[in-house]
Amino acid sequence: MPVLEAKARAKLNLSLDVLCRREDGYHELRMVMQTVELCDTLRLETGTGEPLRMCSDLGFLPANEKNLAAAAALRLCEAVGADPKGVSIELKKSIPVCAGLAGGSADAAAVLRGLNCLLELGLPPERLAEVGGKVGSDVPYCVWGGTALAEGRGEVLTALPALPQCHVVLCKPPFSVSTPELFGRIDSVRIRCRPDTAGLIAALRRGDLAGVARRVYNVFEDVLPERRAGTVREVKNTLIQNGALGAGMSGTGPTVFGLFDSLEAARAAYELLRGRYQETFLTRTAGSEFA
């Protein structure tokens, strides 16, 4: 029976701006996204002769279509007229759950890429991204990975010059943040400070890591509940004080990341934060899945 191991890499929001609430109820977003090496691992198998099977090493995660990895397998089979019977997905999680790192979307994207290979479908990345858009707004980006501008709900993608490779420290405080609550909060306030997305993209075009890092910004940081905001600020300050070129929150949080041009400084910041927060990681930026 054909077997493939697929990597599902986490994403960061180098910038995140909410432009407006749309008539369809979604929000118009403008974000610069970046893949990192921190990843989940999926073991995909076809031809088992059994119904679609989904399992993970975290017992609280759904083992059915409510898991985006299984949903992606079903949507892909529907799109090409294939029978999902015989597909088995085993998921080993390393990306923190409910962290603003698109772990579930990354898993779904890895399933799409993996099954495209195992089933010998020959679909181009554009078609996989289109199918992924039916699973979740971040899935199209996660299909591609690398450095990209994401607009619309996040599904309108423009490839950008790669961020110069650097070291990244990720720290997820021990709480979750409600995405619907944050969108509700941002709808009720006037956003006074927005990311310099144009300047960030210009810095990418120059290959200017420090210029990108200086422009890292996420509007959701300004509408966090105060107790949560205090923790996010503390982690950001710790990263900056220990050599990060820039730091910010990813997605709707609560994970905070710092960009470092020095492995020594990144490791020192990692060790310091790891002593306070269990879910702290030292990783690197990564390129596109189709480079």
Question: Alpha-carbon Rg of the chain, whole angstroms?
Answer: 19
Task: Enumerate the active-site residues.
Answer: 11, 138
Q: Tokens representing 254?
A: 């609560």
Report the distance separating Cα 214 and Cα 200, nearest Å. 8
Report the distance separating Cα 130 and Cα 138, nearest Å. 11
Alpha helices in 145-217 (DSSP H): 179-187, 197-206, 209-214
Select from 81, 66, 71 the least CA-distant residue to 119.
Answer: 81
Cβ atoms within 10 Å, residue 95: 24
Q: DSSP label at 163? A: P
Q: Tokens representing 56?
A: 């993970």
Q: Tokens representing 188?
A: 């009720």
**Neighbouring C-alpha atoms within 13 Å toward the C-beta of 145:** 23
Could you tell me the maximum CA-CA distance found in the chain, to the nearest angstrom?
57
